Each structure stands twice: as C-alpha cells, then as structure tokens.
Amino acid sequence: MMRFLEKQIAFVAFGIALVFPSAGWAIDVFVTVPPQKWVVENILGNGGTVNVLVKNGQDPHTFEPTPKQIMALSRAKIWFTMNMPFENRLRNKVGQVAPDLRIVDMIGDIEKHSIHDAHGHDDHDHEAKDPHVWLSPVNLEVMAATTAAVLSEEDAENMQQYNQNLQAVQKSLTELHARIGQQLAPYAGSSFYVFHPSFGYFAEEYGLQQKAVEAGGKSPGPRQIAALVAKAREDRVKVIFVQPQFDQKSGETIARAIDGEVVSLDALAEDVPANLAVMADSIEQALSDRGIK
C-alpha cells in the first residue's frame, strides 16, 4: 500500500510541474478513450478542454455516441483517435457537418498487434488490431510526442510550453518504464490470466504472456472452460484478472474451480501511469503467490 501511495504522490508532483500556455488561448479537444485524456491534458496544460467520448465503465467494442456527443464533437478543433472500428463510422458522420475538424490518429507509427486468446484463436475480427497501445510507457511517449506536435501546429505561440511539457511527460514515463521493468524482470516468460485480452502491450513490454478466458472474442463454452481450468491448475494460477467493462461470470467460474480469486484491472483507467503501476503490483503479487521468482 505504501509503495502505491508513493507512486501516486510522485505523479501528483509531476502534474504540478506542468508549464501552462499563455492566457487567452483555449482549444477544444476530443479524445476517444480516457487514457488519451491523461496524455493530452499533460501536454496541453490549462490551454483548453479535453472531452472523452467513451466514458468510464463503457465498452469501446459496443460503444455508440449519442447525438449530443456527435454535435459537441463537430464543434471541436481536434479529435485524437485510436483506430477503433466505431471511430471510422463516426468519422463519416462528423465529416458531413464539420469538415474543418482536425482528426489525428494518435497511434501513428506504433506497431499494432493482433489479439490472441488462450485457446489459440485470433480476435474474432481478423482485421482488427489491439488498440490498447497506451498500456506501455514507451508507446505513451510516442502518443505524447504526437500530441505535442499537433498542438504546436495549431498554437505555434505556445510551442515552447508544449515541448517543455512533453519533456516532463517523457522523463516521467521513462522512469516508470525502468521501475516496472526492474520490478517484473524476475518473472520473465511467466503467464497471467485475464478475461479479455487487453494487456498484450504491457505483457510484451515486460516479457510476460497474457492468457485470455475469452474464446475468439466470446465467452467460452463448458468444454473451453474445462480446458482453461486444467491449464490454470497446471500453471498454479490463483488469480483471474477481469475488466469492469465485461461480464465477469466466466472469470468467476474459473476462479472458483481453481480455488482462486477474481481481481479487477481496468485497461481504460484515465490516470495511465498510476494504473500501470497498479497493474505491475497486481501481476507481481499474482505471480509471486504462485511461487514464481
């Protein structure tokens, strides 16, 4: 608990160190999911407002914007996207009423991965890629650099402030990456079990493997659950990580069968650095309880 509080305090202190743009400038920005908001706000400072389409607890896979959200988005200056399927549909709608809205792919040149589950399947939509790139401090640095570049183009007067904020963000993320890397290094090659395969970038960054309860993007049937239970017992798994956006019944079924527990991890939490620290602590604890180290 103390280590978690120390990390929280460190990020609060970092926020205070932001450089704010000159008075009089205000920019209305939209992002698709909460983790993007952390990135944009920490580059933008108090130079505008950042609005989120997919609210806390909502599932981006099934999300549909309300007419009110579409109208608000059409009045914004910039929309940072994450290459999610619904964004393409929304882009066409908004483009008809807001041709001047600047739409920026925040993922940019980050290499996107296919989603694999523990049953040997790719994601049910074979053209889809895992969008959860923010679950890697290295990728977050790229997203922050993209944000700073776009804001500097739109507001050249405050370019220096945006770049200074970028440097502070990247320094903090570099330190976080090193800390988590050292923390999880003893568990390299180990697997942790999740309901939905959202944590692939985090796992790959630190030499881990995620095994998903979902089968081809759907809750598993009895035969698949039985196979997962057998494998989990073989791996001495005691924790199934679940996300609050998804039905937890399958995860709970497996947890009961292995005499384990369900632990919540939110891949969409807004405070990304603090969330990555919590993820590292939770996964370290789960692996340590299995006697891995």
The mean of the pLDDT values for the chain is 84
pLDDT of residue 291: 63
Average pLDDT of span 26-42: 95
pLDDT of residue 157: 93
Query: From the CA atom positions of the chain, what is the Rg in Å?
Result: 20
> Residue written as tokens 């890629």?
129
The rounded distance, in Å, linking the Cα atoms of 78 and 91 is 12
Q: Which fold has domain 2-105+126-181?
A: Rossmann fold (3.40.50)
Question: Poorest-confidence range of 123-127, 171-175, 220-224?
Answer: 123-127
Q: Which residues of 173-190 are buried (b: 16+ CB within 10 A; e: fewer)?
A: beebbebbeebbeebeeb
Q: What is the DSSP string of 131-178?
A: --TTSSHHHHHHHHHHHHHHHHHH-GGGHHHHHHHHHHHHHHHHHHHH
* Highest averaged pLDDT of the listed ranges 47-56, 155-164, 236-245: 155-164
User: Nearest to residue 109, comparing CAs of 151, 78, 146?
Assistant: 146
2-105+126-181 and 186-289, same CATH topology: yes
Average pLDDT of span 114-124: 52
Residue 31, pLDDT > 60, answer yes
Q: Which residues of 89-105 are buried (b: 16+ CB within 10 A; e: fewer)?
A: ebeeebeeebeebebbe
Q: How many CB atoms lie within 10 A of CB 8?
A: 15
For the chain, the structural domain boundaries read 2-105+126-181, 186-289
Residue 236, pLDDT > 80, answer yes
Residues 6+ apart with CB under 8 A from 153: none
* Highest averaged pLDDT of the listed ranges 146-155, 222-231, 245-254: 146-155
Pairing of strands 78-81, 239-242: unpaired
Stronger pLDDT, 67 or 174, i.e. the higher one? 174
Pairing of strands 102-105, 191-194: unpaired
Average pLDDT of span 6-35: 62
What CATH number matches the domain at 186-289, 3.40.140.10, 3.40.30.10, 3.40.50.1980, 3.30.565.10?
3.40.50.1980
Q: How confident is the model at residue 26 (pLDDT cuts 50, 70, 90)?
A: confident
Stronger pLDDT, 269 or 89, i.e. the higher one? 269
Stronger pLDDT, 220 or 233, i.e. the higher one? 233
Using DSSP's 3-state secondary structure scheme, residue 293 falls into coil
At 133, the amino acid letter reads: V
pLDDT of residue 217: 64
Per-residue pLDDT tens digits for 238-254? 899 988 877 777 778 88
Q: How many CB atoms lie within 10 A of CB 1?
A: 6
Per-residue pLDDT tens digits for 77-110? 999 999 888 898 888 888 788 888 999 999 888 9
